[in-house]
Amino acid sequence: MPSYQPWCHGNITRSKAEDLLSKAARDGSFLIRDSESIQGAYALCVLYQNCVYTYRILPNEDKKLSVQASEGVPIRFFAMLPELVEAYYSLNMGLVTHLQYPVQREEEVEEEPEHSNLPPQLPPRNFAANDVKEYDPKSSEQACKSLPDTYLMRLQHLDLSLVPEEHLLAIQEYFRTTICSDAEQVQSGYPTLPGLKKLTMAICKNLNSEITRILPALEIFHRVFDQQLSPGTGYYPRQMSADSGQFVSFRLEQLTKLLYSIEDQAKSSVFDSVGHDGGHRKSLIPPVTFEVKQESLGISTKMFLKVDVESGKLFFKKSKDGPEDKYFVHNKILQLVKSQKMHAKLAIAVETEKEKILRKEFVFENTKKREGFCQLLQQMKNKHSEKPEPDMITVFVGTWNMGNAGCPHNINSWFQCKGQGKTQDDTADQIPHDFYVIGTQEDPLGEREWSDTVKGVLRNITNISFKQVAIHTLWNIRIIVLAKPEHENRISHVFSDSVKTGIANTLGNKGAVGVSFMFNRTSFGFVNSHLTSGSEKKIRRNQNYINILRFLNLGDKKLNPFDITHRFTHLFWLGDLNYRVELPSTEAEYIVTKIRQQQYLELLSKDQLSIEKNDGKVFLHFDEEEITFAPTYRFERDTRDKYAYTKAKATGTKYNLPSWCDRVLRKSYPLVHVVCQAYGCTNDIMTSDHSPVFASFEVGVASQFVSKQDLHSATQGGIQIMNCVANLLTKSKTKFFIEYHSSCLEKTVKTSEGENTEHPEGSIKVWFGNQVQLTPIICDPEYLLDQHILICVKSTDSDESYGEGCVALRAAQFCYTEFQITLTHHGEKTGTLTGGIQLHTSEGKTTEKLYDFIKVEKDDTVTSKGKGGDSNKFSVTQSHDISNPNYMGVSFQKDNVIDKGWSYSMPPKNNPVTGQGNKEPKKVGYDAGTCGTTEKPVNPTGEGEQKSEMFDNPLYGSMGKSHSRGKDQDQQQKDQLIPPDPFFTSSKQADGDLDRPPVPTPRNRSFTCSETKHQPPNPITLNPSLYKKPVVPSRSEGGMGQNRPPLPSKSRPGVPEPQITKPRDYRDSSELPSKHRPPARPAQPQPQKDVYAEVPKMGRSVK
């Protein structure tokens, strides 16, 4: 597209084009932009009566352009865009109005080049084909003539005494004549440099023949060690062994890789055979002993817990050096329950030889010790699991601006999450992560040198030789992904890409690199970016983010309408984002004082990234763990005690106030498991003016699914989506339809056109009335509940997206569920979509997940004593699974804003739902609300007594017959508060949806994480049917049925009255392990040995 034309706007977004036309505010205003749906096509945008009309300009086979205008108007073809625009200034050309006023292109403020005291760094010489610029023929011809003179002159000034005469003559001949012919070949589009190739082949004739001679022997040697080869196949292509005319450099590189591979595999085999500690295939975690306290009859007793991960045993010892005769094997350790009231307290549920379940409570030295113990136990369960594939992995994410300085000798603390902030305990030092993702900026090292450095550090820490999944470099911005060797066959669809955002978006000194891959059935994306520097260039940084979002090409190419924020189950964004603390330079010393006092809250309130994120301008719906560490920029090098916040320049003193430039953020699909275990920075790596930042995450993954059901006898399942209404923030005059994408569907499904209703404030409400039936490829619940449906609202005229979102099938696990999702496009909010979803699956059970092994309880337990009143026997607890907000739909609340981009309504557990019958709900680790009937409860004491009710949790009430309400419970309800649900209870929302069809089932419960301010809480009741005025039930009473009032405390002798305590916010303590995850639902009774897993738990807690 000609850039000099005033109406040419290039690749601006659709929403930006609408804004420019709205500002013009004259009928007939127009501009042309690149099409977002078809490469090489354009979009003509015309303003008429305050609405924007979009017409596609498509090229044909002869590169002629035509406008898709109204039917009945003859199609005209044009060679150039200016001709087309000139023609459409005329009337009656099929447009809503003729073109009159071109909208000028906004001038971008160019980024100034940065000045540094260090010499400029040359970018790596790995130019892509599309980076080669076109040359002027005359200037290139002159350059060709000057090449021989230049190089021959350089050759004369070198010492040539050691060069063989035949080689010297060949080099001189190349510079005299052949180099010009090579240059001409490049000009003609053939960049193979045949002359250079001929020269190197002649010089390396003996070396080339030697490579040809030794490669077959090395390949045979390699095949002996390679365990994954089938008989008769070679690891490397056959043509490597033959003299196929390849560059010698290429063959040397292949030879080098082959030698490295042989070395690694030989070491692995030899070390494994002798059980050497440096074995590269096994991580040997040494036994760890924890000193704890156990209370019995009010007396605190010192005890020792020894965790032996390798043998799979947990020892209970009365003294550190005492006998190890009392232990529990990994499969007898049923669950860990963390106390939220006492942050160092942990309950362990174990199964005895008599198949009785005991609950043992211990208090650790501090919260970090408790977290280290839990991580070791989880590692033990995972190591000795009978599952063929993992359902949970851990991911380390690190970012470091190296400041163009070399790497220090010891960087172990970075990979062990040691330093400031939320850090790991020493006991977890040798627990390896499954993936290590490291992003660097201003990295002066070569790819091979940096890769070997990182692998060496990890080998020293974990005794594992990690496999390189991918590495990608853009100038000095680099990302590398390493994985455990056992995951090698689980990784597929690896892609990498980069985007330049430097001066004029053509230089790679700023920009991003990214890597994506599939781990079994879970998609991962990682982006490492270095954004524009300077405190005053916040808007430019925002634009950098949008450009990276739009043009970074990662993930499934079939998901073309979706940007990278919707293409992955888990997306991690790391790097030197360069957002600053927005305070005047005169406050520099005040900032330093606050940092020394570790008072970060006031400074974080001025953090540009947090402000822009809360305003929805960047990183919409991304999460970041709470920052509890000092700013990571700008330090004096070789010390971490002093910030160098001033820099002398020719134009005066420049201030770089201490700021959190280096960050790690993430965005995951709804209702998936992800928990941040660490987030902080190191103290002891000081070669750069930035400190390295680390983060680690516990992530749920889906394994490759093989159905155990007979495909012929399996019940046909389906996904129904209905009652969809979209509110789009656009002035476009067009019709819309919805596209549904998912890997679980046989094909992409499109709806018919929706019915538009315009609103005066510049939005359009579209009702898609028809019910859509989606057919999954597999109907087994084990498979379907891990799937997501990607939704895209498109226009019929240009086939461009006006908003994308995602719905989790797990939300409709038990019954019809209503949803609301925020629609986004290119990182901006473009509207909302509401609707309902119903899931029909075949019969089947879902398995327990490893991440359900650890729970968090809100308050202390209330013991239900059996015979003899043994307090160690397992009893029902007020167990809240609240350690993961994303997994359950309860978002992390910060600055009184809740914005996850989605919300779901779910009915109470005990309500039968139309269409489901009395079908027994399936047991799963996820708490999504059951709609079936409740069976008889399990006897938790294991003493053979028939108890008619489980009343230890006061918010559950009776599980048996109904009882009258006690005054103490009435008072308890008044103390239990919940913020109103803005989507499902707002009167304004209801008024706007008068034309919406009735839903199949009543909405009894809502989980909302959409964008809203914190409202004053309203008191709620446990049984709304007892009062005339209906009140929305709280999330924490999910286990209550409408017809099951709680048991009065008077009828519960021997049980102390529970204390209603306010749940402590994680942010009150920098040592608490993670964000809180909401609870799991009660499942149906099972045999006695599974009693612990079947205990009902409370519903979600609400701050």
Residue 24 — φ and ψ, nearest 5°?
-65, -40
Please write the tens of the pLDDT for every residue from 736-763: 999 999 999 989 999 999 999 877 677 8
Give the full edge-to-edge strand order of the sheet including 491-500: 491-500, 511-519, 522-530, 570-576, 662-668
Rounded-to-integer distance, Cα 148 and Cα 140, Å: 14
The candidate with the shortest Cα–Cα distance to 623, out of 578, 582, 570, 544, is 570
Over residues 719-734, the mean pLDDT reads 93
Tokens 């719905």, residue located? 807
Burial track 370-406 (b if 16+ CB lie within 10 A, e otherwise): bbbbbbbbbbbbbeeeeeeebbbbbbbbbbbbbbbbe
190-204, 387-401, 421-435: which has the minimum mean pLDDT? 190-204
Alpha helix (H) residue ranges in 105-247: 137-156, 165-173, 179-187, 194-203, 205-225
Residue 985 — φ and ψ, nearest 5°?
-125, -10
Tokens 């008077």, residue located? 1050
Please write the tens of the pLDDT for every residue from 343-389: 999 999 999 888 889 999 999 999 999 999 999 999 999 889 888 89
Q: Is 90 exceeded by the pLDDT of residue 1073?
A: no
Residue 128 — φ and ψ, nearest 5°?
-80, 165
Residue 375 — φ and ψ, nearest 5°?
-65, -40
CA torsion through residues 255, 257, 260, 266, sign: negative
The candidate with the shortest Cα–Cα distance to 881, out of 716, 1072, 700, 1098, is 1098
Rounded-to-integer distance, Cα 720 and Cα 775, Å: 9
Instruction: Tell me the pLDDT band of 246, cut-offs 50, 70 and 90.
Output: low
Over residues 829-836, the mean pLDDT reads 95
- Asked if 565 contacts 571 with a C-beta cutoff of 8 angstroms, the reply is yes
Rounded-to-integer distance, Cα 864 and Cα 953, Å: 10
Residues in the chain, total: 1103
Contacts of 845 (CB under 8 A, 6+ apart): 781, 782, 922, 923
Please write the tens of the pLDDT for every residue from 520-561: 999 999 999 999 999 999 999 999 999 999 999 999 989 989
Q: Is 60 exceeded by the pLDDT of residue 940?
A: no
Q: Is 80 exceeded by the pLDDT of residue 288?
A: yes
pLDDT given for residue 1066 in this prediction: 37
- Asked if 905 contacts 1000 with a C-beta cutoff of 8 angstroms, the reply is no
**C-alpha separations of 749 from 320, 784, 790, 807, 840 in Å:** 64, 17, 11, 15, 18
Is the peptide bond prior to 370 cis by the omega test (within 30 degrees of 0)? no
The three state secondary structure string of 509-572 is: CCEEEEEEEEECCEEEEEEEEECCCCCCCHHHHHHHHHHHHHHCCCCCCCCCCCCCCCCCCEEE
Q: Is 80 exceeded by the pLDDT of residue 15?
A: yes
pLDDT given for residue 603 in this prediction: 97
The candidate with the shortest Cα–Cα distance to 478, out of 487, 488, 468, 486, is 468
Contacts of 622 (CB under 8 A, 6+ apart): 573, 613, 665, 666, 667
Q: Is 60 exceeded by the pLDDT of residue 143?
A: no
- Asked if 635 contacts 644 with a C-beta cutoff of 8 angstroms, the reply is yes
Structure tokens at 341: 């009231």
3-state SS class at 417: coil
**C-alpha separations of 256 from 208, 249, 473 in Å:** 14, 10, 21
pLDDT given for residue 265 in this prediction: 60
Please write the tens of the pLDDT for every residue from 100-119: 999 998 776 555 555 444 44
Q: In the chain, pLDDT over 70 holds for what percent of residues?
A: 68
Highest mean predicted confidence (pLDDT) among 4-13, 140-149, 187-196, 538-547: 538-547
Q: What is the DSSP letter of 1059?
A: P
pLDDT given for residue 831 in this prediction: 95
Contacts of 366 (CB under 8 A, 6+ apart): 344, 1071
- Asked if 567 contacts 556 with a C-beta cutoff of 8 angstroms, the reply is yes
pLDDT given for residue 870 in this prediction: 41
Burial track 239-271 (b if 16+ CB lie within 10 A, e otherwise): ebbeeeeeebeebeebbeebeebbebbebbeeb
- Asked if 58 contacts 66 with a C-beta cutoff of 8 angstroms, the reply is yes
Please write the tens of the pLDDT for every residue from 435-493: 999 999 999 999 999 999 999 999 999 989 999 999 999 999 999 999 999 999 999 99
Q: Is 50 exceeded by the pLDDT of residue 1033?
A: no
Enumerate the β-bridge partners of residue 832: 727, 822
pLDDT given for residue 710 in this prediction: 58
Secondary structure percentages of the chain, helix, strand, coil, to 5? 25, 25, 50
Instruction: Tell me the pLDDT band of 942, cut-offs 50, 70 and 90.
Output: very low
Rounded-to-integer distance, Cα 295 and Cα 282, Å: 38
- Asked if 805 contacts 823 with a C-beta cutoff of 8 angstroms, the reply is yes
Structure tokens at 915: 């269409």
Instruction: Tell me the pLDDT band of 820, cut-offs 50, 70 and 90.
Output: very high
Structure tokens at 238: 């056959």
Over residues 970-974, the mean pLDDT reads 40
Rounded-to-integer distance, Cα 897 and Cα 878, Å: 28
**C-alpha separations of 220 from 215, 226, 232, 234 in Å:** 9, 10, 11, 8
Tokens 């096994």, residue located? 282
Please write the tens of the pLDDT for every residue from 60-84: 988 899 998 777 788 899 999 999 9
Q: What is the mean pLDDT of the chain?
A: 76
Rounded-to-integer distance, Cα 687 and Cα 700, Å: 36
Cα(first)–Cα(last) distance of the chain, in Å? 54
How many CB atoms lie under 10 A from the CB of residue 865? 13
Q: What is the DSSP string of 51-93?
A: EEEEEEEEE-TTS-EEE---TTSPP--BSSHHHHHHHTTSSSS
